[in-house]
């Protein structure tokens, strides 16, 4: 019995007359539109419209959920000391798909429309007042000082 040699066995596979998988190495020609690197009975082509930037998935075809169609409320809520509580994924999940005002630890604050709340992060759409539009935004939960859902 000869010792196992994967290189030689690989080369032996490509010798003529090996027809165990005859369709594996088909040559593409003009008449064969469905040529594939592996045998298939029928291959389906799926076309999808591109979604907004962000992680892809099967939600609405691909991409993130679309941003809200309306502008956020015109008022800015006042920050009170009672709001200083521990921010975690559970408290943010209650605000999913709602207008939420966010105060960050760096002093910035803005309207936010969360679409994802993970264990350590949150993502969604942030209102850019200077541009008058929603833009995709994500941050670490530890960066958030307080939130208020509306």
Question: Tokens 């010792």 label which residue?
Answer: 3
pLDDT tens column, 140-150:
999 999 999 98
User: Tokens 């935004």 identify what position?
Assistant: 137
**Which residues lie closer than 8 Å to 102 by C-beta, 6 or more apart?**
109, 110, 111, 112, 144, 146, 147
- Whole-angstrom distance, CA of residue 23 vs CA of residue 83: 66
> 25-61 as b/e, with b when 16 or more CB fall inside 10 Å?
eeeeeeeeeeeeeeeeeeeeeeeeeebeebeeeeeee
**CA-based Rg of the chain, rounded to a whole angstrom?**
27
Q: What pLDDT, in 10s, does the model give residues 103-136?
A: 999 999 999 999 999 989 999 999 999 999 999 9
Distance (Å, whole) CA 55 – CA 37? 29
Write out pLDDT tens, residues 62-76.
566 788 888 999 999
What's the pTM value of the predicted model, to 2 decimals? 0.57
Phi, psi of 8 (to 5 degrees): -65, -40
Phi first, then psi, for residue 113 (nearest 5°) are -120, 90
């Amino acid at each position: 019995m000869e010792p196992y040699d994967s290189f030689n066995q690989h080369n032996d596979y490509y010798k003529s007359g090996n027809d165990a998988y005859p369709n594996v190495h088909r040559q593409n020609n003009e008449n064969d539109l469905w040529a594939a690197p592996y045998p298939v009975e029928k291959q389906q082509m799926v076309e999808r419209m591109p979604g907004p930037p962000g992680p892809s998935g099967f939600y609405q075809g691909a991409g993130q959920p679309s941003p809200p169609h309306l502008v956020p409320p015109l008022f800015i809520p006042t920050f009170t000391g009672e709001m200083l509580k521990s921010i975690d994924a559970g408290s943010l999940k209650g605000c999913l798909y709602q207008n939420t005002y966010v105060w960050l630890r760096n002093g910035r604050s803005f309207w936010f429309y969360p679409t994802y709340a993970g264990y350590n992060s949150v993502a969604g759409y942030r209102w850019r007042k200077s541009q008058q539009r929603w833009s995709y935004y994500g941050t670490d939960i530890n960066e958030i000082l307080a939130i208020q859902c509306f």
